[in-house]
Structure 1
Amino acid sequence: MYRNILCLALGLIIGIQLTDFLEYFQLTDSQFASTAITQLEEGATPQLATEEELALWLQNETRVLCMVLTLPKNHQSRVRRVKGTWGRRCNKLIFISSQEDRELGVIDVGVPEERNNLYLKMRKALEYVYRNHGEDYDWFLKADDDTFVIMENLRFMLYPYDPEAALYFGHRFRTTFPQGYMSGGAGYVMSRDALRRLNLFAFNNSQFCPINNNSEDRQIGFCLQNVGVVAGDSRDEEGRDRFLPLSLKFMLPTFPTDNWLPKLTFRSDCCAASAISFHYVKDFEFELFEFFLYYLRVFGLHRTPRALPSRLGFRQMNERLQHWSQQVTDNKN
């Protein structure tokens, strides 16, 4: 009798664990549900039939909340264009303004629309997002309403990194503090732990994160550095930029570079084939980017499918963070 009870209990335990195991690999998208995912070993990446299927899988594997800074006068123009193009591919999309619009998903954070208030506006946005969504997503992207973001390439770049590591990515500018800061116009993306540190430690300490009239992106970078968040290197394997802080024509190597960018940026080349963001996008260009990136197909042009990079283990992650920190020290010296 006791043997039967023991066997029944063991069977239930095994059954529950097996169910949890199967649910872990279950895909939510019905189109994707019949595609097998093979995990070769711990840390290995899923092997799928096509890049399109990998991109679909990444939507739920690497979850990104997008915060877009905007103004009331842009609600019916840029907000609608972001919402109708790249914003549709965020896991959650929130617009930050001084006037609420529930239809468009615009949040009023209670900060008057002045350029000197952009940093305070961003602080309020980050406080709101952390309070309401801080544990629901893996990464938190900030962009302007004249930025176009290729979300698939962003997730591809972020996939190897643990969102519980304290780091953030973007186009890094030089400044008076060692690791610099990420361009707000090109957009920057911070991990869940970076957002947590910012809210729990930085915003509650006037030395770590003072309230002032400095530029939004520089000041957020200063606050992040002071709570141990590492500025990651978002360039591709050949050192080419993925986050572009200027209009594409000003970033291309063939275009004259008589602008302010070389004086601020760390050494890099443009532009990565896996580019993530473009800044100073004009209203009509949102639809152009959408058409050329997602609809136009060139007959006969074959590209070799890419596999996802391997997830970084704890030791590998620590080594990479130390490497980036050492780069900052070398640049300072």
Structure 2
Amino acid sequence: MKMVSEVGAFLKGMMLGGFFCALVTLIGNYNTRYETKEMPHIHHHHHIHAPKREEILSLSRTKRLQLTQNIRVYCIILVKPKNLGHWAAVRESWSKHCDKAGYFSSEDVKVFESINLGTSDMWVMMRKAFKYAYENYKDDYSWFLVVQPTTFAIIENLKYFLLNKDPKQPFYFGHTVVSGELQYVESEAGVVLSSAALNRLMSVFDDPVKCPEKGSMLWKLSADKELAVCLKYTGVLAENAEDSEGKELFNTKPVANLVQDAMSKKPTEVVEGCCSDVAITFSGLNPNHMHVMMYGVYRLRAYGHSFTDALLFLPPEGSDND
């Protein structure tokens, strides 16, 4: 009997050992997606800055006008039926300032025109939206902004930030977060890809190892991380967008929350400690807050005060923006 129990224990040990070996192998295969030694590397910096006012003023008026006309932004807005209130607010507010805005939904919605992607999986939605933008607009727009319907974007500030950036270089930026060895851009605050980065992304979409659509059978990454991994294989790294003073341009919170944070940390420097003067996005807004932001950013004016901006971003032709 003792020998039988020892044999049983031995067999159990063999089975458990085999299971853990298989598990380690699977994890090891999965983790190779993060290894940098197999991935092309382009640059080491992870922070990119908006141009300084002095840089813009040093350009001729003709050059400034040429630059502003050449920056064209295609906005990709990912929506689901449960977001109808946000969807309506985005359509009626900041999205009018995009050179073109496309709404990509998880299913058909009668009340709003959208492109039905036929899935509610955020990563698959993002992939299909990128593919649609590439196939239809790769030659018409130089920059591609992806946002959720709870985000308010100031497109003119985005264009200002892009003035000294070449879309033929592979840029991928927004508000970055580090997870282990992976640095990625949070889609909650908006993700921007240059046309070159989008081209590279398309090159790995059909590779199930470098850029799988369904993810691992052990666990599933968020859409943000999946995008970063796919781009990393092409040599495109996530970069944090900041103004010339190092302040964040893509924000994962509404203005009110950022002000509260600043008041608790720097009560004597609330405005200075809160937000950048050229912030690009604020996130986590409800539909009413979206309209309040629209009022504050575009409609409220100090009568008699003339602005002396060195740049003028004209509204897209045929748009009804504010």
Q: Same fold (TM over 0.5)?
A: yes
Q: After the TM superposition, which residues 6-85 of structure 1 pair with which residues of structure 2 at under 5 Å, given as runs?
A: 45-47=59-61, 58=68, 60-75=69-84, 77-85=85-93
Q: Distance in 1 between matches of 2:199 and 2:73?
A: 15
Gaps of 5+ in 2: 1-57, 266-272, 313-322
TM-score, normalized by length of structure 1? 0.66
- The correspondence for 2:196, drawn from 193, 196, 201, is 193
Q: Distance in 2 between matches of 1:229 and 1:102?
A: 38
TM-score, normalized by length of structure 2? 0.68
* Counterpart position of 1:37: none
Q: 1:46 to 1:205 in 2, by over 3 A?
A: farther
AA aligned opposite 1:222: V
* Counterpart position of 1:249: 256
The more displaced of 132-141 and 92-101 is: 92-101
Within the alignment, does 1:203 sit opposite 2:205 as a pair? Answer: yes
Q: After the TM superposition, which residues 282-321 of structure 1 pair with which residues of structure 2 at under 5 Å, given as runs?
A: 282-299=286-303, 305-306=309-310
Q: Percent identical across equivalent pairs?
A: 31
Higher relative contact order (CA 8 A, sep 6+): 2
After TM superposition, give the deviation of residue 244 of structure 1 in Å: 0.2
* Counterpart position of 2:184: 181
The more displaced of 276-285 and 99-108 is: 99-108
- The correspondence for 1:149, drawn from 139, 153, 157, is 153
- Checking the alignment, whether the CA contact within 8 Å between 1:250 and 1:256 is kept in structure 2 is no
Within the alignment, does 1:110 sit opposite 2:118 as a pair? Answer: yes
* Counterpart position of 1:34: none
- Checking the alignment, whether the CA contact within 8 Å between 1:78 and 1:283 is kept in structure 2 is yes
Within the alignment, does 1:279 sit opposite 2:287 as a pair? Answer: no
After TM superposition, give the deviation of residue 287 of structure 1 in Å: 1.1
- Secondary structure at 1:159's aligned position in 2? helix
Give the total of aligned pairs: 241
After TM superposition, give the deviation of residue 126 of structure 1 in Å: 1.0
Within the alignment, does 1:100 sit opposite 2:108 as a pair? Answer: yes
- The correspondence for 2:226, drawn from 219, 232, 243, is 219
After TM superposition, give the deviation of residue 95 of structure 1 in Å: 1.0
After TM superposition, give the deviation of residue 101 of structure 1 in Å: 4.8
- Secondary structure at 2:262's aligned position in 1? coil
- Checking the alignment, whether the CA contact within 8 Å between 1:249 and 1:255 is kept in structure 2 is no
Which structure's CA Rg is the greater one?
2
RMSD: 2.5
